[in-house]
């Protein structure tokens, strides 16, 4: 019976939809924490206890795989995992911004040629702008390799006079979205910044993904007034 369950477990793992790296790491971490098989003194009971242990381990593995896959299919949970605040992405500045209510949702959703660019989280303070940008296909599946931020694609930061004061780049760190950042050499004096994105091409020569032309451009403004008030009060 144990052999049959092991085979079923193997088949389930092979047939499960591809889980994101964060989920896979948590599954591996949980399995690695299972205690070692204890040494059994009585030889006659060793086989039975080993069998029970293997059965328990298999059942635990099945539970982990099923629950991880099931939770990831829930939209709210899936979006949380793709957040700037999921484990591995967050820093103390982001946590402070979240606690103080400085996270902005620009509600960006631009579709063309079967692909959609989404932005639901952005943070700005006088020293930096951070934004989580997602690219999904027509089945709402993430595509982390198709968008390259090089000409003609660029995202710039403009001040209230329309002057370019910075440009955003993909910092990486996660396979769930493009972790876009821009740092400023000196604290910003402007109260309003505009995020101006020009995205006209999808494709990746390194990944052998052919180019596709379209228009996924967008722009939105962000207010620094509250962030500046908090920064002044903390001095």
Quick check: 113 pLDDT over 50?
Answer: yes
In the DSSP assignment, the letter for residue 137 is: -
Are the beta carbons of 214 and 198 closer than 8 angstroms? no
Quick check: 145 pLDDT over 60?
Answer: yes
Residue 217, Cβ density class (10 Å: 0-12 exposed, 13-18 middle, ≥19 buried)? middle
Q: When comparing pLDDT for 146 and 60, which is higher?
A: 146
Specify which residues 104 forms β-bridges with. 122
Q: Determine the Cα–Cα distance for residues 22 and 27; give it in Å rounded to an integer.
A: 9
Q: CB neighbours (10 Å) of residue 8?
A: 12
Taking phi over 0 as left and psi of -120 to 50 as alpha, with beta for the rest, 150 belongs to beta
107 Cβ neighbours under 8 A, 6+ residues apart: 120
Please, what is the average pLDDT of the chain?
A: 73
Task: Give me the pLDDT at residue 101, please.
Answer: 56
In the chain, residues under CATH classification 2.60.40.1630 are 90-233
Q: What is the pTM of this model?
A: 0.61
Q: When comparing pLDDT for 199 and 142, which is higher?
A: 199
**Topology (CATH) of 90-233:** Immunoglobulin-like (2.60.40)
Task: Give me the pLDDT at residue 74, please.
Answer: 40
Q: Determine the Cα–Cα distance for residues 69 and 34; give it in Å rounded to an integer.
A: 20
In the DSSP assignment, the letter for residue 114 is: T
Q: Determine the Cα–Cα distance for residues 208 and 81; give it in Å rounded to an integer.
A: 28
Nearest partner of 112 among 151, 146, 75, judged by Cα: 146
* Tokens of residue 73, six digits: 């299919």
Task: Give me the pLDDT at residue 73, please.
Answer: 42
Cis peptide before 152 (omega within 30 of 0): yes
* Tokens of residue 190, six digits: 């402007």
Tens digit of each residue's pLDDT (9 = 90 or more) over 67-95: 444 444 444 334 443 455 554 545 455 55
Q: When comparing pLDDT for 169 and 24, which is higher?
A: 169
């Amino acid at each position: 019976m144990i052999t049959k369950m092991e085979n079923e477990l193997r088949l389930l793992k092979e047939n499960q939809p591809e889980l994101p790296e964060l989920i896979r790491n948590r599954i591996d971490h949980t399995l690695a924490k299972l205690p070692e098989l204890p040494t059994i003194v009585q030889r006659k009971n060793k086989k039975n206890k080993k069998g029970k242990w293997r059965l328990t381990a298999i059942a635990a593995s099945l539970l982990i795989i099923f629950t991880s896959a099931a939770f990831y299919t829930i939209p709210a949970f899936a979006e949380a995992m793709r957040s700037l605040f999921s484990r591995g992405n967050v820093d103390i500045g982001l946590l402070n911004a979240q606690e103080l209510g400085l996270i902005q949702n620009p509600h960006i959703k631009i579709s063309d040629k079967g692909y959609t660019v989404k932005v639901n989280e952005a943070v700005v303070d006088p020293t930096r702008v951070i934004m989580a940008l997602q690219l999904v296909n027509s089945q709402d599946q993430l595509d982390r390799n198709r968008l390259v931020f090089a000409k003609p694609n660029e995202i710039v930061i403009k001040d209230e006079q329309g002057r370019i004061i910075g440009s955003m780049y993909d910092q990486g760190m996660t396979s769930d979205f493009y972790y876009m950042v821009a740092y400023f050499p000196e604290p910003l004096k402007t109260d309003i910044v505009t995020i101006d994105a020009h995205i006209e091409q999808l494709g990746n020569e390194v990944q052998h993904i052919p180019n596709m032309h379209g228009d996924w451009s967008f722009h939105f403004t962000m207010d620094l007034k509250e962030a500046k008030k908090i920064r002044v009060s903390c001095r």
